[in-house]
Chain A
Amino acid sequence: MFALSRLLGVYVGIFCVAMIAPVAIVLVLSFSNESYLSFPPESYSLRWFEAFLGDAAWRRSMSISATVAVLSSLISTTIGFLAAYAFVRKSFRFKKAFLATMLMPIIAPSVIIAVSLYFMTAKIGLMGNMVWLAFCHSVISVPIVLIIMIAGVKSVDPNIERAAVGLGASKAYLFRRIIIPLTYPSIVSSMLFSFLASFDELIISLFLAGTRKQTMPVRIWNSLHLEVEPVIAAVSAFLIGLTCLVLLLNYLVTRRRAG
């Protein structure tokens, strides 16, 4: 038994290194001083971060990505929160089928969603519109919010709500003073992860952004198709940093619930 569990431990150790290595290597490369990416770099510098942040086009992409992601996060969290509340607290028919349908945008091939949205967007003349892009991103992040928020609402004791209603709380008061404060960690998680989902979304943006509203992933994609510029390592490191920040904030918020 000892040998077997030891073997399993070694295997999982190798697995962990293999999972984290690709992320770690990009981080190391982003500090390279070489004009050609090789690992390990012979000397280190911040030149690729300077190239990235000093480039007005990259800064513009960053602000487009951030604007779209904030809008999308607000849209999808609001919509997902209301739906998750109804899903947990209300009784209606075909609940499982309803959930399975609402989750479809994450299982349907994103190319098909993107092509279809492109088809529609061209007709209604919203190509390159950031609010519309945010709405389209929300289509695929609402399922994520639903998953997080359903678990969040389930963790609240329904008796608290019954007590509030029994004491005369109005619906608006109930939401504002009871439900939102109690599900607050899940709401923040939803906002964080839907922000990240939109910030990192590539395929829909690729079709809808046009040439003037390129988000960061779209620019990375274009660069990887032509020649791989070393500046991509710095851009990637920025996105990895953003992911880590989101995970850290999420950890801090959800930890409070446990404590």
Chain B
Amino acid sequence: MRNSGSKLETSLLLGPVILMFLFGFAVPIISFLWTSIAEIGSLSEIAATFVRTAGSRAAISAMITSNMIALVVTLCALLIAYPVAAYLCLAGRFRFTLVIFCIVVPYFTSMIVRTYSWMILLGRNGVVNNTLMSLGITDAPLALLYNRFGVIVGMTYILLPYMILTLFAAMKSVDPSFMRAARSLGAGRFYAFRRIYFPLTAHGVVSGSLIVFILAVGFFITPALMGGPQDTMTAMLIQRSVEIMFDWTSAAILSIQLLVVTLAIYFVYYWVTDSKKMMGA
């Protein structure tokens, strides 16, 4: 009796979120994909269109570009974030707050504003070029914007906080006495790091890299504004198919490609991440 009452309560509490998930997420995506694909015609026609669209030069090159950019951004973010997260574990209250402030303010600033600020920084007459020229490092302005470099800088900047916060959560749980024990038993600093600290924080490295990769591979705003024609990612191709060419079928096929990659990696993330640590929940 009590149990069934509790079950009803659980359903009532979870009902709204499930309805929202269904009608704001699952149903729109499935109906968009289903309708656009079913429009093509018979199964063999669907298969042929699928192969033609997904195998087109534009789609393949966008997929390669998306994965390459996501990979480079993930590696850059990991290399930059790891020492910062380690520092946060060691820092006193004041320095901790200061560094967190410098991470959190950009993290919660509108993505379009952050992209805009990098466009100002990296433009032909931007701050970076002016500084480099006044220091005599270069004579003519460098092309830092509207190319791969700009996209990677912008995206790394936007995704860094996710990496730092995930790594920090993992590092916080490492007992500092392990490192002291290793050192007092004669391990060199590098040896102790490689054999003790890094393995203990490896799950954070894996979770952080997966989440940054997932977010990066479907990125749209930053590559659309900061990239050149060579940097067309799958997400941009989807937007163009719908807004410029009204080609819902291609958009659906490209979306399936991108969703498969995203969900596959999300599944790995789900599998390796403790439920208590999922996105900080």
Q: Which residues of A pack against B, CB within 8 Å? A: 1, 4-5, 8-9, 11-12, 15-16, 19-23, 25-26, 29, 37-39, 78-80, 82-83, 85-87, 90, 92, 95-97, 99-113, 115-120, 135-136, 138-139, 142-143, 146-147, 150-151, 171, 193, 196, 199-200, 202-203, 207, 217, 220-221, 224-225, 228, 232-233, 236, 239-240, 243-244, 246-247
Contact = CB atoms under 8 A, between A and B. Distances in A.
Contacts of A111: 218, 220, 235-236, 238-239
15 contacts: A8-B86, A22-B121, A39-B127, A107-B262, A108-B259, A112-B29, A112-B235, A112-B238, A115-B32, A139-B24, A146-B281, A150-B281, A200-B110, A202-B111, A247-B108
Given A25-B121, A82-B13, A147-B281, 4 more contacts: A22-B121, A90-B10, A100-B270, A239-B110
A112 B255 contact: yes
B47 interface: no
A217 B32 contact: no
A97 B24 CA distance: 19
Q: Quick one: which of B110, B120, B262 has the most chain A CB within 10 A?
A: B110
Nearest to B267: A100
Interface residues of B, number: 82
Contacts of B236: 111
Given A23-B117, A37-B120, A83-B16, A224 B29 contact: no
A99 B280 CA distance: 12
Nearest to B113: A236
Nearest to A82: B13
Taking chain B's interface residues, is the majority helix, strand, or loop, or is none over half, making it mixed?
Answer: helix
B262 A200 contact: no
Contacts of B90: 5
A243 B112 CA distance: 13
A212 B105 CA distance: 31
B13 A4 contact: no
A15 B35 contact: no
B24 A135 contact: yes
A72 to B, nearest CB: 11
B31 A115 contact: no
B218 A112 contact: yes
Contacts of A203: 220-221
